[in-house]
Amino acid sequence: METAQSETVKSTDRILDFDLSAELNHGVVVSNLAYAVAVEMGLDEEFCYQMAIAGMLHDIGKLKLTGYINGQERDPLLIEELKYVRMHSSLGYEELKDQGYSDIVLQSILYHHENYDGSGYPSNLSENSIPLGARILRVCDVYAALSSDRPYRKAFDVSTVIELMIDEIKNFDMEVFLAFQRVVHNNE
């Protein structure tokens, strides 16, 4: 019994480590980028502020999945595991919808994995049917993920990240992507 309790404590420590460091750092990067991209696009200050909030909270649904995905960092996810991970945007939306957040924040979180060509999730939205905030988060989230160390690979340098994103340009709104590139290149 004591061994089981000690394993639970170790597991809890690991979950907190995973969630509070890697995920929070990722949220900060996405938040800062989303705000800067919205400013670069000339959007009003309130929208830009809402994008900063959405960027910070966009992966909050992963907290509901940590017990499931924790410990899987070094192993490729199986197809049935991926379906649970893909639920994080819907779970985040459900968690926040009654907490007083704006529709901009909520819709951005719910649809931040939609691809411009309609191949994303959770609803296979395409082009302008994807809320603008979600299109902004999509670009910023991909950049933040590729430019950060992951348990299974090292971070890519900025030029490699941009090349990889250009290879998948079908996923992004071109206007958002161009504004994003101006932000990234101005900060180098």
What three-state secondary structure class fits 74? coil
Per the document, the length of the chain is: 188
Contact present, 96 and 59 (Cβ < 8 Å):
no
Among 11-20, 45-54, 125-134, 162-171, which stretch is predicted with the lowest mean pLDDT? 11-20
pTM of full prediction above 0.95: no
Task: Report, in angstroms and rounded to the nearest whole number, the Rg of the chain calculated over CA atoms.
Answer: 17
Which tens digits make up the pLDDT trace of 26-67?
A: 899 999 999 999 999 999 999 999 999 999 999 888 877 665
Query: Which amino acid is located at 29 in the chain?
Result: V
